[in-house]
Structure 1
């Protein structure tokens, strides 16, 4: 059975070559992926502001006989995902409106639940493998994403991965990216309102054959179309900013997975650090 991640990957890989009307369809499907099994071809055409014929042509362009087969494949992949998903228990919603602490915690728990469901484990493992194989790992982001990218870069160094964070200084992101080689890798953090500088950085690196991992809130986020691996993390917040609870879980999971795979190297690294600090 085709997985939802494989379907999304197929859409993303074909996105750049699609005509503008089919790009709208692709974006609409990625943003409403769980709804597609319940949408007729006409309903999807209305939502995506395209024609029925364009939806059918799009389905064929990405490898299906038509929209019916495309919709059935998504329905089957979602059913499989639902059967295999594990969730944390949410707080009881009663009387929560008068308890800000519980309300915020419930929102963040939902973000973590949704992230557990949206992050494909195969993609996660491949992303970690790419990090381990890179000569040097760079991280980048702006606003709250800058802080998150800095945390990831720091934690990567703590498990023996050569890592640096792009900084906002006299050099623009694209100028700093000129120093990246084809065997390097960059992890971009991109959340609403999606900094144009971060998106341009991801595109620039992809064009230069530098591997890109995007940590963002949805498969149709701008940076996703320039990334080899997309780690979808939910960041909904009660305020106008992005919550970073689920993002922190993902960062911790990446670093932990690296430590598990490289126990000997990590042990040696900490032994050397301890020796240095005792001198």
Structure 2
């Protein structure tokens, strides 16, 4: 697994001798306090080490970043798997008001989706769809914040196929729920920072049973990637203490639609029956506002 912290810190160390006096002060601070620097504005870092904000921006440019925000995101990417909830809340100090919050959060989610679209491996996506249809049973594992993704995925996939099971917290432990998994089944593991240890442990146990595993996570550096047969990634950079699951949800939607298109005739008949049931038992409110 690539150590992203070591890569960036080593880059700073390699270029240290070429830096100006002010930039060296910034470099020394980041090397020793990269976890704090990740949440500091360019102005705040400048004040802390005694240089101007423009010197901080030039330092980021020297490292190959377009500006300081890009360097800051790189630092946050390094430590996001280790962030406590309190540290995540501190990220919110960058917002000035509610209007600023909605603009930055939505823009961040848009960036995550665009990055995911640009970097998706279409060949792996196709193989994932194939594996879903080859499996006798499909187990979806997602805990903590990924529980919402697993439940959503399982709900819609179960409307198309009849062999889907959602594995989660409950009366039965995770390992008990996957005890009957066989080599003919497929397990889909979902986990995003901060990665759930229980999800990783469960997938490692399943891997020992020679079961194929699909991973849905944020990067190839994720601990899921080394466990899974195929991994699909969706960017989940956070804008604050709330995990950004917009791009992962969009990726899951794409999987559901792709599966549905292969079963178009069957699900058309199935949904026709469902519509009759929903109408008969008044499941949905069909009234429109006047």
Give 2:2's aligned residue. 27
Q: CA deviation at 1:127?
A: 0.4
Residues matched between the structures, number = 196
Q: Of the two, which has the highest radius of gyration?
A: 2
Aligned pair 1:192/2:193, yes or no?
yes
Q: What is the 5 A alignment of 1:108-123?
A: 108-123=109-124
Give 2:138's aligned residue. 137
- Give the structure-2-normalised TM-score: 0.61
Q: CA deviation at 1:199?
A: 0.4
Unmatched tracts of structure 2, length 5 or more = 16-95, 282-290
Give 1:166's aligned residue. 167
Give 1:5's aligned residue. none
Q: CA 1:128–1:203 in structure 2 vs 1: closer, same or farther (change >3 Å)? A: same
CA distance in 1, matches of 2:210, 2:272: 36
Deviations 1:28-56 (A, max 9, x none): 38x97xx9xxx9xx99xxxxxxxxxxxxx
Report the secondary structure of 1:223's partner residue: coil
**Contact (CA 8 Å) 1:96, 1:102: kept in 2 or not?**
no
Give 2:100's aligned residue. 99
**Contact (CA 8 Å) 2:143, 2:168: kept in 1 or not?**
no
CA RMSD of aligned residues (A): 2.7
Give 2:244's aligned residue. 243
Q: CA deviation at 1:157?
A: 1.1
Report the secondary structure of 1:186's partner residue: strand
Q: CA deviation at 1:148?
A: 0.7
Report the secondary structure of 1:206's partner residue: helix
Q: CA 1:201–1:110 in structure 2 vs 1: closer, same or farther (change >3 Å)? A: same
**Contact (CA 8 Å) 1:215, 1:232: kept in 2 or not?**
yes
CA distance in 1, matches of 2:181, 2:153: 18
Deviations 1:60-85 (A, max 9, x none): xxxxxxxxxxxxxxxxxxxxxxxxxx
Q: CA deviation at 1:98?
A: 5.4
Aligned pair 1:203/2:178, yes or no?
no
- Give the structure-1-normalised TM-score: 0.64
Give 1:265's aligned residue. 266
Q: CA 1:252–1:272 in structure 2 vs 1: closer, same or farther (change >3 Å)? A: same
CA distance in 1, matches of 2:98, 2:167: 40
**Contact (CA 8 Å) 2:200, 2:223: kept in 1 or not?**
yes
Give 2:36's aligned residue. none
**Contact (CA 8 Å) 1:141, 1:198: kept in 2 or not?**
yes
